[in-house]
Amino acid sequence: MKKFILLFSIIIFSTATFAQKTYTVGNETLVLKTEVDGTLDLLWNTINDQYRYFVRTNNGTIKELKNTKGTNKKYQEEYKSVLKDLTSMDVSKVNLTTYSLKTFIDKYNSAANANYITNDSKSKIKLRLGVYGGLTNSAFNVNPNNEKTLLFGTELEALSDNKNSRHAGFLNVRHTTDNDNFKYSATQIALGYRYRFINKANFNIYGQTKFATVTFAKVTSTTVDPNDAAALLTIENSTNNFDVPFIFGLGADITLGKGYLTLVYDSLFSAFLDTQDNFPVDFALGYKFNL
């Protein structure tokens, strides 16, 4: 389990640096984020508490976009001259802000390349509805014989329609069944978050966490009837629990038809729940539809 926690920690850490690279600009070595990727790239980062912006051309030349004050204490707007020289477009209304630069460079890239996909900052939320089924050993519950049972459920995922967005939220409902050797069944409603640390056109791989759950569980047990030693009594105990367990998992979506084939290894580990000495087994296969 410790190895998996370490692996997941590395993955989570990598999400913070996945979109950043190190560049040499003049005499400086800078770690910059890629905001726009096209014929003309927009790079930026916060350095010494100041926003700094750069553009990179197709031949790899990087130029900083500056707006320094002159001796008259007025801003010189040097960045407009740089953008004008590179694009031959009207730059009079461009401001040295992420949104304004992104909009301008998107417009240029769209004109320069018909296949360019714009980075729409005003992207809307889209929904996906999924259904799935799989196998689990209910690792966070007492399961002495490590029995496996079936699970099935449905999910509503909300994400940006910007294809470059890596973030998504989800609400899912899943039911785990019992069997003759493991009389535990449960219905769980979970609210969670996903980050796609690999985000390609036809597939993505993500880490996810369920940060809030409501679980309705039933445990069935048998005992000897105190009034008849030859008879057994069946006892059902039902519980309702609200938890903030931070259950972590991994998943992948693969474009298939008009939707997505989805694979999830859920319940890899939890920040606050014990796996009861059983290695977590919680796999599901499903399909998502765009709404």
Give tens-digit pLDDT for 205-259.
999 999 999 999 998 766 555 665 555 555 678 899 999 999 999 999 999 998 9
Do both 171 and 247 map to the same domain?
Answer: yes
Q: Say if residue 3's pLDDT is above 70.
A: no
Q: Count other Cβ atoms within 10 Å, centred on residue 262.
A: 21
Q: What tens digit of pLDDT does each residue of 33-85 get? A: 998 999 999 999 988 888 999 999 999 999 999 999 888 889 999 999 999 99
**What value, to the nearest 5°, has the Cα angle with vertex 87 and ends 86 and 91?**
105
Q: What is the mean pLDDT of residues 130-149?
A: 93
Q: Say if residue 9's pLDDT is above 60.
A: no
Per-chain mean pLDDT for the chain: 86
Which of 188, 245, 183 is CA-nearest to residue 218? Answer: 183
Identify whether 149 is part of a domain.
Answer: yes
Q: Say if residue 15's pLDDT is above 60.
A: no
| pLDDT value, residue 281 | 93
Do both 108 and 137 map to the same domain?
Answer: no
Pair 145, 118: CB distance under 8 Å: no
Do both 277 and 166 map to the same domain?
Answer: yes
Q: Which amino acid is at 60?
A: G
| pLDDT value, residue 106 | 92
Identify whether 199 is part of a domain.
Answer: yes
Do both 130 and 242 map to the same domain?
Answer: yes
The last residue of a domain, from among 60, 84, 112: 112
Do both 57 and 201 map to the same domain?
Answer: no
Q: What is the mean pLDDT of residues 259-280?
A: 90
Among 16-20, 171-175, 176-180, 228-232, the range of highest mean pLDDT: 171-175
Pair 220, 236: CB distance under 8 Å: yes
Name the percent of the chain lying above pLDDT 90. 60
Q: Say if residue 13's pLDDT is above 50.
A: no
How far is 252 from 260, CA to CA, in rounded Å? 9
Do both 139 and 86 map to the same domain?
Answer: no
Identify whether 188 is part of a domain.
Answer: yes
Model confidence at 181, pLDDT cuts 50, 70, 90, reads confident
Q: Say if residue 111's pLDDT is above 70.
A: yes
Do both 132 and 101 map to the same domain?
Answer: no
Q: What is the mean pLDDT of residues 17-34?
A: 82
| pLDDT greater at residue 202 or residue 190 | 190
Q: Say if residue 5's pLDDT is above 50.
A: no
| Residues in Cβ contact with 88 at an 8 Å cutoff, skipping those fewer than 6 apart | none
| pLDDT value, residue 18 | 44
Identify whether 218 is part of a domain.
Answer: yes
| pLDDT value, residue 2 | 46
List the domain range (segments joined by +) for residue 98: 16-112
Q: Count other Cβ atoms within 10 Å, centred on residue 209.
A: 19
The last residue of a domain, from among 112, 144, 169: 112
CATH of residue 257's domain is 2.40.160.20
Do both 269 and 176 map to the same domain?
Answer: yes
| Greatest CA separation for the chain | 101
Q: Say if residue 19's pLDDT is above 80.
A: no
Q: Count other Cβ atoms within 10 Å, centred on residue 168.
A: 21
| pLDDT value, residue 49 | 81
Q: Provide the domain count of the chain.
A: 2
Q: What is the 3-state secondary structure (H, E, C) of 201-234?
A: CCEEEEEEEEEEEEEEEEEEEEEEECCEEEEEEE
Identify whether 120 is part of a domain.
Answer: no
Identify whether 42 is part of a domain.
Answer: yes
Do both 270 and 139 map to the same domain?
Answer: yes
| pLDDT value, residue 20 | 75
Q: What is the mean pLDDT of residues 270-284?
A: 88
The last residue of a domain, from among 52, 81, 112: 112
Do both 208 and 65 map to the same domain?
Answer: no
| pLDDT greater at residue 275 or residue 149 | 149
Identify whether 4 is part of a domain.
Answer: no
Do both 143 and 20 map to the same domain?
Answer: no
Do both 140 and 190 map to the same domain?
Answer: yes
